[in-house]
Copies of this chain bind each other. A is one copy, B any other.
Amino acid sequence: MSLSTTDRTTVTRHRERARTERADLHAVLDAGLVCHLGLVRDGAPVVIPTGYGRIDDTVYVHGSTGAGWLRIADGAPVCLTVTHLDGIVYARSVFNHSMNYRSAVVHGPVRHVTDRDEQLAALRAIVEQLSPGSWEHAREPDRRELAATAVFALDLTEASVKVRTGPPADDEADVAAGDRWAGVLPVRTVFGAPEPCPTLPADAPAPAHVADRRPE
């Protein structure tokens, strides 16, 4: 299924980088750990890093009901962006330097989640996005914790996906000059060895969902 096209999801620069399949959008979102959520406060933009989770064509974020950035009205416009930096593109010219990346930008009105079942499913999706296996392993939220947690939904109705891959695009004259290196330095996210909480024995083995975890 294709992504719908609106003015603000139409890629105007480097159209060849646009991806138009819904599966591409899901893939970029599902591979991420942090999103950057934009909202408007007093006419000015605010961009906050936060965790998120996806269920079908809805993405969820959450926060403490005491957090200032959550003072956002039901239905207010937000923008949720997820970016993966895959490589630094070194060109013969400064001008053609670039990045290899995958990014998804989702626009739409935020919806306050008030249904208890949806709230719980959303929290599960958020936790499983950040730390797959934790919902089963850890203690589930109790009534007090759920009451302290606000959950917001954003439909994946209006979104754009951009992907750049491959080598630099140098000018012919710069390639012909032959005197400069060009190429890509891959960038990857990796996990280190799990560090047990100091309240545990130092040799307490991490469970498989942590110890065997690999980046998407």
Interface residue ranges, A against B (CB under 8 Å): 8, 12-13, 33-34, 36-41, 43-49, 51, 63-64, 66-68, 77-81, 83, 85, 87-88, 90-95, 97, 99, 101, 103, 105, 107, 123, 127, 130-131, 134-135, 137-142, 145, 149, 167-168, 170, 174-175, 180-200, 204-207, 210, 213
Interface core residue of A49, A91, A189 (most chain B CB under 10 Å): A49
Please, how many angstroms separate the alpha-carbon atoms of A175 and B77 in the complex? 41
A193 x B189 contact (CB < 8 A): no
Contacting pair B186 A191 (CB below 8 A): yes
Q: A12-B67, A191-B186 are in contact. Are A138 and B94 (CB under 8 A)?
A: yes
How far does the Cβ of A39 sit from chain B's closest Cβ, in whole Å? Answer: 6
Question: Known pairs A8-B46, A185-B206. 12 more at Cβ < 8 A?
Answer: A13-B63, A39-B45, A40-B45, A47-B81, A48-B105, A49-B101, A88-B131, A92-B139, A94-B141, A97-B131, A186-B193, A187-B190
Chain B nearest Cβ from A133, distance in angstroms: 9
Given A67-B12, A99-B34, A181-B196, decide whether A44 and B187 contact each other with a Cβ distance below 8 A.
Answer: no
The 9 A-B residue pairs with the shortest CB-CB distance in the complex, in nearest-first order: A186-B192, A38-B45, A44-B77, A38-B47, A36-B36, A12-B68, A49-B83, A182-B197, A13-B67
